[in-house]
Amino acid sequence: MYLLNDAVWYVVIIVLLIMFLYSGIRVLREYERAVMFTLGRFTGVRGPGFMIIIPIVQQMVRVDLRTIVHDVPSQDVISRDNVSVKVNAVVYFRVVDPDKAVIQVADYFAATSQLAQTTLRSVLGKHELDEMLAERDKLNHDIQRILDEQTDAWGIKVSNVEIKHVDIDESMIRAIARQAEAERYRRARIISAEAEQQAAEKLVEAGKMLGEQPESMQLRYLSTLQDIAGEKNSTIVFPVPVDILHSVLGLKKEA
């Protein structure tokens, strides 16, 4: 009877020992790291692969090193020219220092998300609406640079920021359309004025050339007469230049 009880106790102890050792087995994937704590103190970063920890004495925190795509919620932004818009963006970031991401900040994902929202509002608030619509690449770079600098202490690398949508009020859209129409009308007037100026310059040059060579003026009159005759008019009134009359009278005198 005593031998049976001893055997049961041995089996129980062996099972508990196996369970104790099994609870210390960890397998980390290629993109995972383990931040190790021994009796509450940081003792290094381990992984990936197979590892064994001492239960109760050691604890580990898994950290994912893959790039996180975070959709920043729509933010109400007032531009520098006092236009209210709603802007949302996408932030791409990842953990580069697992120990800092665990020790320096309680929740690195929430902290980065909140920082992205406040940075988005502060940066866009310094620019006018036209710049938000036309210079997105520059704004994306500015926001990414500021976020990357501020999250460096948390072991976070912000690789990219993309502004997705800039939603404008309906009344502001109509105002922008009127402004664009006025701008197109102004450019059309300028182009028309430039064309008239160039045409006037060419006419002045042609007049100078015709004035320097009277024979060319006669040829011009004859060419005009030919054009008029092709219009099938029954009566043609054509002014005769004085130079031609002088030439005809000179020929008559010689004859």
Mean pLDDT of 47-68: 90
- Sequence-distant (6+) residues with CB within 8 A of 128 are 79, 80, 81, 83
Identify the pLDDT of residue 200.
Answer: 76
Asked if residue 26 has pLDDT above 80, the reply is yes
Tell me whether strands 84-95 and 68-78 are parallel, antiparallel or unpaired.
antiparallel
Backbone angles phi, psi at 73, to 5 degrees: -60, 155
- Cα 228 to Cα 224: distance, rounded to the nearest angstrom: 6
Amino acid identity for residue 143 in this structure: I
Could you tell me the domains of the chain? 2-63 (no CATH), 68-168 (3.30.479.30), 181-228+238-254 (no CATH)
- Amino acid occupying residue 14: I
> pTM for the complete prediction?
0.65
DSSP-assigned beta bridge partners for residue 64: 32
**What pLDDT digit, counting tens, does each position of 213-226 carry?**
655 555 566 566 56
Report the range of poorest mean pLDDT among 11-25, 146-160, 170-184.
170-184
